[in-house]
RNA sequence: GCCCCCGUGGCUCAAUUGGACAGAGCGUUUGGUUGCGGACCAAAAGGUUUCAGGUUCAAGUCCUGACGGGGGUACCA
């Protein structure tokens, strides 16, 4: 289904073609994209286009004159009441109010699919996000990543893409070695065997707890193995346990993954070696200082792929992250055949983007098929003070603690409200606060209010499923609400096309505000006989509005409560 | 030093990607319900969009420079 904006764009395109065919204007090149935007002022109608302004130079005429020439050639359409010209040359479209009122039933009939668009039909996209090291619980540091990735995936699905959510498990690097060593040390110590704690180990309490659980379940059998074997066995067991916890913690935030991709499989499958060979054949590998480097004309400096034994005595420590990223992107885009891969990364990794893109190019994958969402950091505030987070220091707030304290809805809403380009201050005190200072409840309250109206209707023995005659909806507040409901497809299209999920909370807040205004102006439930038709119409409207609110809340992964 | 992000009413942020008179929330001030949940609504005050140039019919948005804040710049992961 085409969005309103797209339909207006088509009218304009037809108008521009017509005006040329009629010879009313000199020859000009039809713009590839015709800008159409919702109007900001009521006096400008519902949608406006500055397209004639852009044509002024080529046609050597005042834009106002061009607009006036185009105007009579714009085809009529049932959803448009009036097209007008406004200085200095805008073409403004006012929607037909009778048409608007009739759309309410369509919104209601669409149910959960209202707002879906066809932008990505036939394309498969993978969103890879969170992907935190599997060496400990998820911290608040990953909360923004988790919410952004999840909602981007939902948005793309609403835009017609076939979407897969993936978690990349870094289970092959030196971090897991340190993790295994830490676990082994705690395990041995618990059994009164001396074992020094590794220098770069994980001192946090969860490692000890994990070791206790293993002692309780498995006894001392790991002490009978060679040390290296025991460490390997322990970190495998530990990672599996940690990942169960990670999945559970994320589920509390309503984040779920379709696939958990383990880095080690890149090595066991031989893809890692195959890609290294491919890079070598392409002349992208250089060796010096006992290390192997990736060299590419787009990169200022060589990037290490395989460390030297001097730096990394243990062979499993030698491949770098970048070395794995290359077979991994191949696996995504070639072996699994995704058309598009989205990576959700913190801005502290922005320096890695050019390297991965250069590597993609080097192995023959068009870099444009990779998109990196770089979101700025989150600073956590408690009592106005910044809370520092670091897994290795052992001092951090887990995602679990945050969700238990605040609940998923405020976290998700607040993580979504800002653009990814600004650093986000997450105020714990405000998030917990259930008041009008907290914007989260404003939207949910609108949904609750509608549920209240429907409960009231049921008490008055009105049929809540009635389909009223929506042509009776003519009040300005009714029409304003309907206009906003009908804007959801365009909002989803825009948010998906530009990967800007912050448009959702913005839209939800505006929709809620228009509902609240409607609620003030228009009494819904009336038992007076002369109001029966209008009550039916308004109940229909209110149900449709509830449907749209629920849709947006669900896209954001939030609850749409009937009671609060 | 170099690279990335940000700078918009007192505070936190939007602005449909270059379009019309820069919009919301919080805070402040004033008002609103003997009717569907007041976690609501309405009104007011508050702006030279950090500064200086430039491009354009049109700049918060693009370019150059300056100032301020955050992040990055390892054979760290």
Residue A551 to residues A75, A115, A429, A470: CA-CA distances in angstroms? Answer: 33, 8, 28, 21
B70 C1' to A433 CA distance, Å: 27
Q: List, for residues A124-135, the tens digit of each pLDDT value.
A: 999 999 999 998
Cα–chain center distance at A442: 22
Answer yes or no: do A132 and A75 share one domain.
no
Task: Specify whether A146 is located in the same domain as A263.
Answer: yes
pLDDT band at A313 (very low <50, low <70, confident <90, very high): confident
Average pLDDT (A142-154) is 97
Number of separate domains in chain A: 4
**A369 contacts A341 by C-beta, under 8 angstroms:** yes
Say what the pLDDT of residue A389 is: 59
CA of A91 to C1' of B21 (A): 17
The tokens 């509005």 sit on which residue?
Answer: A545
Query: Is A438 a residue whose pLDDT tops 80?
Result: no
Percent residues over pLDDT 90 in chain A: 77
Residue A66 scores a pLDDT above 70: yes
What pLDDT does residue A289 have? 93
Residue range A499-535, pLDDT digits in tens:
999 999 999 999 999 999 999 999 999 988 889 999 9
Q: What is the pLDDT of residue A436?
A: 66
A424 touches strand B (CB under 7 A): yes
**Rg, C-alpha atoms of chain A:** 29
Range A379-391 average pLDDT: 71
Among A234, A252, A270, where does a domain finish?
A252
Q: Are residues A292 and A351 in the same domain?
A: yes
Whether CB of A445 is under 7 Å from strand B: the answer is yes
Q: Quick check: A381 CB within 7 A of strand B?
A: no
What pLDDT, on a 0 to 100 scale, did the predictor assign at position A112? 94
SS3 state at A477: helix
Q: Which of A203-207, A353-357, A371-375, A481-485 has the lowest mean pLDDT?
A: A203-207
Domain assignment present for A474: yes
Contact between the CB of A290 and strand B at under 7 Å: yes
Q: Are residues A138 and A268 in the same domain?
A: yes
Is residue A88 reached through a cis peptide bond, with omega within 30 degrees of 0 on the bond before it?
Answer: yes
The answer to whether position A361 is within a domain reads yes
- The verdict on A353 and A266 lying in the same domain is yes
For A60-92, what is the HEC assignment? CCCHHHHHHHHHHHCCCCCCEEEEEEECCCEEE
Check if the beta carbon of residue A78 is closer than 8 Å to that of residue A11. Answer: no
Domain CATH number, residue A19 = 3.30.1360.70
Spacing of A432 CA from B30 C1' in Å: 30
A546 in the same domain as A446: yes
Query: What CATH number corresponds to the domain at position A541?
Result: 1.10.730.10
Q: What domain range includes position A47?
A: 4-95
Q: Where is average pLDDT lowest: A104-108, A129-133, A228-232, A255-259? A: A228-232
What tens digit of pLDDT does each residue of A481-505 get?
Answer: 999 999 999 999 999 999 999 999 9
**Domain end point (choices A252, A267, A295):** A252
CATH number, residue A150? 3.40.50.620
Instruction: Give the count of beta carbons closer than 10 Å to the beta carbon of residue A477.
Output: 17
Asked if A77 and A219 sit in the same domain, the reply is no
- Domain match, A73 and A202 both: no
Average pLDDT value over all residues in chain A:
92
* Confidence band, pLDDT 50/70/90 cuts, at residue A396: low
Query: Does A68 map to a domain?
Result: yes
The whole-angstrom separation of Cα A313 and Cα A174 is 11
**Domain for residue A31, yes or no?**
yes
Domain boundary among A333, A355, A375: A375
What is the distance in angstroms measured between the alpha-carbon CA of A26 and the sugar C1' of B57? 19
pLDDT at A175 over 90: no
Percent of chain A with pLDDT over 70: 98
Residue A433 has pLDDT above 80, yes or no: no
Would you place residue A317 in the very low, low, confident or very high pLDDT band (cuts 50, 70, 90)? confident
Query: What confidence score (pLDDT) does residue A428 get?
Result: 80
3-state secondary structure of A304: strand
Q: Which is more confident, A124 or A396?
A: A124
Q: What is the pLDDT of residue A203?
A: 85
Asked if residue A387 belongs to a domain, the reply is no
Asked whether residue A448's C-beta has any atom of DNA/RNA strand B within 7 A, the reply is yes
Q: Tell me, what's the pLDDT at A8?
A: 96
Are both A447 and A550 inside the same structural domain? yes
| Torsion region of A247: left, alpha or beta (phi above 0 gives left; psi -120 to 50 gives alpha) | alpha
Which pLDDT belongs to residue A304?
95
| A151 and A265 housed in the same domain | yes
Residue A526 maps to a domain: yes
Q: Looking at the structure, do residues A236 and A371 belong to the same domain, yes or no?
A: no
User: What per-residue confidence (pLDDT) applies to A437?
Assistant: 67
If asked whether residues A454 and A530 sit together in one domain, one would say yes
As a rounded value in angstroms, the CA-to-C1' distance for A218 and B59 is 68
Whether residue A211 contacts residue A183, with contact meaning beta carbons closer than 8 Å, is answered with yes
pLDDT class for A426, splitting at 50, 70, 90? confident
């Amino acid at each position: 289904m085409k969005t309103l904006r797209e339909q207006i764009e088509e009218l304009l395109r037809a108008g521009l073609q017509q005006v040329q065919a009629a010879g009313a204007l000199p020859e000009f090149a039809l713009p590839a994209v015709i800008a159409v935007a919702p109007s900001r002022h009521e006096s400008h109608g519902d949608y406006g286009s500055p397209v004639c302004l852009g044509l002024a130079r080529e046609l050597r005429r005042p834009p106002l004159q061009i607009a006036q020439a185009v105007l009579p050639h714009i085809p009529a359409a049932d959803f448009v009441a009036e097209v007008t010209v406004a200085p200095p040359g805008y073409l403004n479209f006012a929607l037909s109010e009778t048409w608007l009122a009739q759309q309410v039933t369509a919104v209601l009939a669409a149910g959960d699919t209202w707002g879906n668009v066809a932008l990505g039909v036939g394309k498969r996209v993978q969103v890879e996000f969170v992907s935190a090291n599997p060496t400990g619980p998820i911290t608040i540091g990953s909360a923004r990543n988790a919410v952004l990735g999840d909602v981007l995936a939902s948005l793309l699905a609403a835009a017609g893409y076939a979407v897969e959510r993936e978690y990349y498990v870094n289970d092959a690097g030196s971090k897991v070695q340190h993790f295994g060593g830490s676990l082994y040390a705690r395990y041995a110590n618990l059994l009164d065997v001396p074992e020094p704690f590794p220098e770069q180990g994980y001192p946090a309490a969860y490692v000890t707890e994990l070791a206790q659980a293993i002692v309780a379940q498995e006894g001392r059998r790991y002490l009978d193995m060679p040390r290296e074997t025991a460490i390997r066995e322990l970190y495998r067991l530990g990672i599996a346990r940690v990942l169960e916890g990670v999945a559970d913690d994320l589920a509390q935030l309503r984040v779920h993954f379709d696939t958990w991709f383990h880095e080690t499989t890149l090595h066991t499958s031989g893809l890692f070696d195959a890609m290294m060979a491919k890079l070598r054949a392409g002349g992208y590998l250089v060796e010096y200082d006992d290390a192997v480097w990736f060299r590419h004309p787009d990169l200022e400096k060589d990037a290490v792929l395989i460390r030297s034994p001097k730096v990394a005595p243990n062979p499993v420590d030698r491949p770098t992250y970048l070395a794995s990223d290359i077979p991994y992107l191949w696996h995504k885009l070639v072996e699994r055949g995704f058309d598009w891969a989205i990576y959700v990364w913190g801005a502290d990794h922005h320096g890695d983007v050019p390297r991965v893109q250069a590597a993609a190019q080097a192995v023959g994958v068009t870099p444009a098929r990779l998109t990196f969402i770089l979101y700025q950091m989150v600073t956590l505030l408690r009592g106005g003070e910044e809370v520092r987070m670091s897994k290795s220091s052992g001092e951090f707030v887990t995602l679990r603690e945050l969700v238990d304290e605040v609940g998923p809805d405020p976290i998700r809403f607040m993580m979504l409200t800002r653009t990814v380009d600004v650093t986000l201050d997450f105020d714990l005190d405000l998030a917990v606060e259930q008041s009008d200072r907290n914007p989260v409840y404003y939207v949910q309250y609108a949904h609750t209010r509608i549920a209240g109206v429907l409960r009231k209707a049921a008490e008055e023995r009105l049929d809540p499923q009635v389909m009223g005659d929506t042509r009776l909806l003519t009040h300005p507040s009714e029409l304003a609400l309907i206009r906003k409901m009908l804007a959801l497809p365009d909002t989803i299209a825009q948010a998906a096309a530009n990967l800007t999920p912050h448009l959702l909370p913005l839209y939800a807040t505006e929709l809620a505000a228009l509902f609240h205004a409607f609620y003030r102006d228009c009494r819904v439930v009336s038992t007076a006989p002369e109001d029966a038709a209008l009550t039916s119409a308004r109940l229909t409207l209110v149900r449709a509005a509830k449907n749209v609110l629920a849709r947006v809340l669900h896209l954001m992964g939030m609850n749409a409560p009937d009671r609060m």
